[in-house]
Amino acid sequence: MMDGNYSEENIRTLEWKEHIRLRPGMYIGKLGDGSSLDDGIYVMLKEVMDNAVDEYMMGFGRKIDVTISGREVRVRDYGRGIPLGKVLDVSSRMNTGAKYDSKAFKKSVGLNGVGIKAVNALSSSFILRSYRDGQLKEIEFGAGETVRDEALMPSKEDNGTEVIFVPDEAMFGNYHYISEYVESMLKNYSYLNAGMVINFNGNKIVSRNGLVDLLNDNMTREGLYPIIHLKGDDIEVAMTHSMQYGEDYYSFVNGQHTSQGGTHLIAFREALTRTVKEFYKKDFDASDIRSSIIAAISVKIEEPIFESQTKTKLGSKDMGPGGPSVRNFIVDFVRKHLDDYLHKNGETARILLKKIQESEKERKAISSIQKLARERAKKVSLHNRKLRDCRIHYNTNDERRLDSTLFITEGDSASGSITKSRNVETQAVFSLRGKPLNCYGLTKKVVYENEEFNLLQAALNIEETLDDLRYNNVVIATDADVDGMHIRLLLLTFFLQFFPDLVRKGHVYILQTPLFRVRNKKETRYCYSDEERQQAIKDLGPEPEITRFKGLGEISPDEFVHFIGKDMRLEPVIMKRSDPYTQFLEFFMGKNTPERQDFIIDNLRVEEEIPEAAQA
């Protein structure tokens, strides 16, 4: 029975740093270990970068230096520098900052005076330096507590602010930065601020063509027509269509990447559909118009309202006090400028029309199959033993939504072990029956004709769009052997062929499970590589017991809980334009069997056997 006592002693007032460390999700989303692009360590970097970029947007400073060495992050801007008498307040007093003064920061990203304080509280070491008019003010913190507060001293450095922080291992565990994620974030800042130079670990990041560069850098193949680039006061749009499935959008507000969209993206999609219908004077289905689109939209808004501190979704209805609505502003802009562009560029208009008609033809061809597949999926879902669902999903407002995970595994024993070990609140399991179909070169009809793919699509809830994706993390969990690798490749082929946005948006991972267990009577080590095995043998000798896990089914539920809990190792599947994934799929999944056979023979490697004495 619950204790019903409730008195004054139950009421607590927390210090700002205590509240941030107790409820970090309110400030940076989830914690994470760095394997996911929305993990907290990247949000912390973003909070510091937002302030540096705001200085550039206000016309101060042309470059930003970013250095990540191990776990230490350094960001140096060359803006105005924090007023020296307020360095302590802006870094350690909640709701303190210049972003409340619309004259100083009219259309900034940072709004609430919270971000830099969250970085401070969640860092084991946080150093803030302000260079201003030949003077330096420096303060150092540890987990939000002041360690050093130096007196003003002379400096020959250029004006600006320098932040050096180390995310606290006590909060984030065994984390690491993935340079591809950091570089992608920094590139987004450069696309939105043409001419701004970011030096990242010695590499120069700069954009000259704004959102056009963004699309070119993120498309895995050429667009069907030259990128349409439209610019106006407080708005920029770039778009084209390709031969891939799905819709791919990049949306921004005041330089902030709104990865979950919001009112501005909804308005753009509506505006695009209406403009195209009016231009061709045909009542096309919206899905046919937007199918295979890749587009980017950036708007600047006074006093934007975001739906969370992490600012990934815009909630603003208006462009600013007394201004037009976000919807009307974007619809009016797109209708005028896109219509003008299509009238002036007949070849682009012809290609776009052909693409829409092809999408319409394919959609109608699979509509009857789609209807039957939906009915079958509904019937099966009532008694679906393939999906063991969880309670918290990505398409909800629950604060744990970012932790929602679907493990895709093969075989009853493996799925059984994960099911018994999982967190039923946030982790679901989808069990494959044998190897999935090789869908390379097939049309999307196969998604509905193949029961396995149809049920997987239904489980993920991605039939129409990624907007209603039910799990933030889609984790392929297969054996670390030839068959497991084959299943992994077949699943990646399925996603890349029909749902590339799922990969491109950073939702797909490979589960890393240990290859070896090395133990003696006192200690057990799980090893993910042969190097770790050799080290464990050296540390635990003489003659420890060594087990080679041949499959996930051999790992007991009691052991599996260690590998899908807080210490779970996930390898993100990262797709960049420079990755020739279409050629990769064609070579490994196409009909060139003799070439693959020669490749396998030329690259055959025999795995080192474990001595029998060591397995005793």
Beta-carbon contacts of 609 under 8 Å, excluding residues fewer than 6 positions away, are: none
User: In which residue are the tokens 């150093």 written?
Assistant: 127
Q: What pLDDT, on the 0 to 100 scale, is given for residue 200?
A: 96
Instruction: Report the pLDDT value the prediction gives residue 243, as an integer from 0 to 100.
Output: 82
Give pLDDT, residue 113. Answer: 56
Which regions of the chain carry the CATH code 3.40.50.670? Answer: 384-513+550-579
User: Would you state the pLDDT for residue 1?
Assistant: 46
The Cβ of residue 385 has, within 10 Å, a number of other Cβ atoms equal to 9
d(CA 80, CA 58): 10
Q: Is 173 left (phi over 0), alpha (psi -120 to 50) or beta?
A: left
pTM: 0.75
What confidence score (pLDDT) does residue 304 get? 80
73 and 64 Cβ atoms separated by less than 8 Å: no
CB within 8 Å of 487: residues ≥ 6 apart: 410, 432, 435, 436, 476, 478
Picking from 196, 197, 238, the residue whose alpha carbon sits closest to that of residue 219 is 238
Reference 496, options 256, 248, 244; nearest CA is 244
b/e per residue 568-589 (b: at least 16 CB within 10 A) = bbbebbebeeeeebeeebeebb
Q: What is the 3-state secondary structure (H, E, C) of 359-404?
A: HHHHHHHHHHHHHHHHHHHHHHHHCCCCEECCCCCCCCCCCCHHHC
Cα 573 → chain centroid = 11
Angle at 286 between CA 284 and CA 292, to 5 degrees: 105
The CATH classification of domain 16-205, taken from the options 3.20.20.370, 3.40.50.1010, 1.20.1330.10, 3.30.565.10: 3.30.565.10
pLDDT at 515: 87
Q: Quick one: CATH architecture of 211-362? A: 2-Layer Sandwich (3.30)
Return averaged pLDDT per consecutive 10 residues of the chain, 616 residues in all. 63 74 82 87 92 88 94 95 89 62 50 75 94 94 91 94 95 91 93 93 94 88 92 93 85 85 91 96 93 92 75 78 85 95 96 94 76 59 69 86 91 82 93 86 82 88 84 90 86 89 88 89 88 91 85 80 84 73 73 75 60 44
**Cα→Cα distances 155→64, 132, 388, 481, Å:** 19, 9, 62, 59
From the centroid of its chain, how far is CA 562? Answer: 24
- Give one word for 287, left, alpha or beta, with left for phi > 0 and alpha for psi -120 to 50: alpha
* H or E element that contains 137: strand 135-142
Q: Is the CATH number of domain 384-513+550-579 3.40.50.670? A: yes
Token readout for 555 is: 């790992």
pLDDT at 382: 40
Boundaries of CATH 3.30.565.10 in the chain? Answer: 16-205
pLDDT in the model for residue 80: 92
In the chain, which residues fall in CATH 3.30.230.10?
A: 211-362
Q: Which pLDDT score, from 0 to 100, does residue 125 have?
A: 95
pLDDT of residue 290: 93
Q: How far is Cα 339 from Cα 435, in angstroms, rounded to an integer?
A: 48
What pLDDT sits at residue 92?
82
